[in-house]
A and B are shown apart, each in its own frame.
Chain A
C-alpha cells in the first residue's frame, strides 16, 4: 500500500472521531507547547543578560584582588587587599593596548542633601571610569584627572540617587551633598542604565574620585578591583595574559597557580550569570518533555481502543489480501499522524502563549528553532513508540476471528 494512501486512510479514520482525536492529541499539544514556551522563557532571560553585557562593552577586563581558589578554598573576589593603586598605574603605563584603567573602591553610605537622606552605593574611581563603562551623562559631565590627583570634593550622581535626594536629575546638578559629613559638589548626573545582570540598580549610586573616597570617606588603603578597557579590535586573551604576567612580576609570584588576584573578562562574568538560567532552561524543558511522554501514553490508550473497535475492519482488510505489515503500517501511521498534528498545534500554541506572556508580563520570551525541531521530532518519535504496540496487536489478529468479531 502506498504511503500517500496510508496517510489518507489515517486522516479519514481520525476525522471520523474528531472529538476523540483532539482530546488524544491534547497531551502532545500541551507537551510540545510547554517545551517550546518554557525553553523560550529560559532563553529570553539569557538573552536579556547577554544584551546587558553587550551594552556594557565587551572590551572590559576586571582584575579582582584575592585568588579565586587558594588551597582548594574559594575566597570571594576582592576579599583580600592584594592589589594596589600602583598596580593600576603600572598597567596603564606598561601595557600599550590598554586605553583606560580605573581602580575601584566600593562602599555603602548614608548620603544627605538638605533635609533628605538616602542610603546608597559609593564608588571611588578614576576619570577613565565613565569611558570604560561607556556611561554617558544626562546633565553636567565627569570629574577629571586633576580632581583625582588633588582628591577634590566632587561627585557624579546616578539617576535613582538624584531623584531620592533632589527630586529630579536637573535639580541635582551643582548642588552639594554630604557623605559622612564631608560636602561634595555634584558636577554631573549619569544617564540611566537600569538593572545589572546581577539584579542591582546601577543608577542608585554616587561616584567620586577614588582618592577622595579612600582618604575622606572610607579610609581604606587596598584596592579590591581594577577595571581595564582594551583598545577596540585588540585580542582580549593576549591582553589578559599581559596583565597577568605584569601583576605576577610586581607581586613577585612565580606561578600562575599562586596568583593573589583574579582576572575576568566581562564575557566570563556573563557566562557565569547565564549558567543559572541555562540550568533552569534545561530543567523546564525536561519537565515539559515528561508531559510529552504522558501524551504518548494517551495515544497508545486510544489506539488500543481503536484496534478493538475496528477488529472487523481489520478482518475485512486481511481477508481481501492485506499483509500483517500493511495493517501495522496503517495503525502506526495513524498514531504518528495524531502525534504530529498535536505537535503542529502545540507549536502554534507555544507562539500564542509567548505572545501573551510578553504582552502581559515583563518576561521576554525568545523562541528558537532548536526546541521547535526537538519537540516536533520528539512527538513523532512518541507516535512511533506508543503507536507500535497497538499497531502490532492489530497486525497479529487472526483474520477468521476478526471477521467473526461483533
Chain B
C-alpha cells in the first residue's frame, strides 16, 4: 500500500531581502520523502541546505511553493501553530547538542513534553523520559548534567529528547560534526537502529563518509537539488565499529 509521504515539497522557494539585492536561498525544490526513509542532505555552504532544513523543521516559512508535513500544509500556518507542529511532529538533533546547561539529562528529555498542549502527569513525564534515555543506552546517566557528560553522551541525550514526543520526522543537522570518528559511528548506529524501527530521518552533513550510512543522498547546489540517488554501498555502523581498532575506554 502506498502511504502518504511524510514530506512533500512542490516548487519550494525562499527569498531573503537583505539590503538592496534579494537573496534566493532556495530556488524551486520539489521533493518527496516517504515514511521510513533515511535521507542525507549534502552540499557546500551557501547551497541552500540550511535554509531548506529550517523550512523542513518548521522554524521558517517558505516564500513560495508548498510544503506538506505528514499531510499538513505548513506554509500558511501561524507562529503558534508552527510551534505545536514542531512539538508533535519533529525531533531536532543539532551539531552542538543544544541541551539546557545545569539541567539534568532526564529533565532535558522531559522538556518537549512540558510544551505539549495536553499536559502529562509528573509520573508519566518521568516514565517516558527514562524510556527515551534507555532507548539510546544512557539511562544510567539520567541525573547527570550536560557538563558531566561526554560529547557522544550529550548527543544521545539530545536524540532521546528528539524522540520523546513520538515525532514523524527526525531532523539532524550535522549530528556528528562535533564528535570523534568512533563516537560518530556510534551515533550513526543509533540512527540506523531507529530507522530500522520505522522512524523517518533526514540528516544534513557535508561529510560523504557520514552520508554513506543513510539510504538516500540528496546533493544541493545554488538552491536547487543537483542529484538525488539511493546509496549503493551503504555502511553498517555495527560492522564498522568492529573494524575500528579497539580503544581502552577511560
A→B interface (CB under 8 Å): 1-2, 5, 12, 16, 312-313, 315-326, 399-400, 403
Given contacts A16-B102, A319-B59, A403-B98, contact A324 B79 (CB under 8 A): yes
Least Cβ–Cβ distance between A351 and chain B, in angstroms: 35
Given contacts A320-B161, A322-B115, A400-B60, contact A313 B87 (CB under 8 A): no
Give Cα A312 to B99, complex, Å: 10
- Known contacts A1-B115, A316-B99; 11 further A-B pairs (Cβ under 8 A): A312-B98, A316-B98, A317-B115, A320-B86, A320-B112, A320-B161, A321-B84, A321-B87, A322-B83, A323-B84, A325-B80
Least Cβ–Cβ distance between A285 and chain B, in angstroms: 41
Contacts between chains A and B (CB distance < 8 A), count: 59
Closest to B120 in A: A2
Give Cα A323 to B99, complex, Å: 18
Q: Which residues from chain A contact B84 at a C-beta distance below 8 Å?
A: 321, 323
Asked if A321 contacts B80 (CB within 8 A), the reply is no
Give Cα A26 to B74, complex, Å: 47
Cβ of B156 under 8 Å from chain A: no
Q: Which residues from chain A contact B245 at a C-beta distance below 8 Å?
A: none
Q: Which residues from chain A contact B60 at a C-beta distance below 8 Å?
A: 400
Please list 30 pairs of residues, one from A and one from B, whose beta carbons are closer than 8 Å in the complex, sorted by A's number.
A5-B114, A16-B102, A313-B100, A313-B101, A315-B98, A317-B115, A319-B57, A319-B92, A319-B98, A320-B86, A320-B92, A320-B112, A320-B161, A321-B83, A321-B84, A321-B86, A321-B87, A321-B116, A321-B165, A322-B115, A323-B79, A323-B80, A323-B83, A323-B84, A324-B79, A324-B83, A399-B59, A403-B59, A403-B94, A403-B98
Closest to A15 in B: B102
Give Cα A194 to B111, complex, Å: 69
Least Cβ–Cβ distance between B3 and chain A, in angstroms: 25
Cβ of B119 under 8 Å from chain A: yes
Given contacts A399-B59, A400-B60, A403-B94, contact A320 B100 (CB under 8 A): no
B→A interface (CB under 8 Å): 54, 57, 59-60, 79-80, 83-84, 86-88, 92, 94, 98-103, 111-112, 114-116, 119, 161, 165
Give Cα A326 to B84, complex, Å: 12
Ranked 3 nearest A-B pairs via Cβ: A321-B87, A323-B83, A320-B112
Least Cβ–Cβ distance between A305 and chain B, in angstroms: 17
Least Cβ–Cβ distance between B11 and chain A, in angstroms: 22
Least Cβ–Cβ distance between B49 and chain A, in angstroms: 14
Closest to A325 in B: B80
Q: Which residues from chain A contact B161 at a C-beta distance below 8 Å?
A: 320
Least Cβ–Cβ distance between B202 and chain A, in angstroms: 15
Q: Which residues from chain A contact B98 at a C-beta distance below 8 Å?
A: 312, 315-316, 319, 403
Q: Which one of A319, A320, A321 has the greatest number of beta carbons of chain B within 10 Å?
A: A321
Asked if B100 contacts A316 (CB within 8 A), the reply is yes
Give Cα A223 to B86, complex, Å: 92
Give Cα A1 to B102, complex, Å: 20
Give Cα A152 to B106, complex, Å: 98
Q: Which residues from chain A contact B79 at a C-beta distance below 8 Å?
A: 323-324
Give Cα A1 to B98, complex, Å: 20
Given contacts A313-B100, A400-B54, contact A320 B59 (CB under 8 A): no
Give Cα A400 to B173, complex, Å: 13
Give Cα A322 to B59, complex, Å: 12
Closest to A312 in B: B98
Give Cα A5 to B111, complex, Å: 11
Given contacts A403-B94, A403-B98, contact A320 B119 (CB under 8 A): no
Give Cα A317 to B107, complex, Å: 13
Q: Which residues from chain B contact A321 at a C-beta distance below 8 Å?
A: 83-84, 86-88, 112, 115-116, 165
Which residue of A16, A326, A399 is within 8 Å of B115 (Cβ)?
A326
Give Cα A12 to B100, complex, Å: 12
Asked if B111 contacts A320 (CB within 8 A), the reply is yes
Q: Which residues from chain B contact A16 at a C-beta distance below 8 Å?
A: 102
Q: Which residues from chain B contact A312 at a C-beta distance below 8 Å?
A: 98
Q: Which residues from chain A contact B114 at a C-beta distance below 8 Å?
A: 1-2, 5
Least Cβ–Cβ distance between A6 and chain B, in angstroms: 9
Closest to B87 in A: A321
Closest to A9 in B: B114
Q: Which residues from chain A contact B116 at a C-beta distance below 8 Å?
A: 321
Q: Which residues from chain B contact A2 at a C-beta distance below 8 Å?
A: 114, 119
Least Cβ–Cβ distance between A402 and chain B, in angstroms: 10
Closest to B102 in A: A16
Give Cα A1 to B112, complex, Å: 10
Which residue of A12, A320, A324, A403 is within 8 Å of B87 (Cβ)?
A320
Asked if A324 contacts B80 (CB within 8 A), the reply is yes
Q: Which one of A1, A5, A12, A316 has the greatest number of beta carbons of chain B within 10 Å?
A: A316
Give Cα A101 to B222, complex, Å: 109
Q: Which residues from chain B contact A320 at a C-beta distance below 8 Å?
A: 86-87, 92, 111-112, 115, 161
Give Cα A313 to B86, complex, Å: 16
Q: Which one of A319, A322, A324, A325 has the greatest number of beta carbons of chain B within 10 Å?
A: A319
Give Cα A312 to B98, complex, Å: 8
Least Cβ–Cβ distance between A312 and chain B, in angstroms: 7
Give Cα A313 to B111, complex, Å: 12
Give Cα A324 to B79, complex, Å: 8
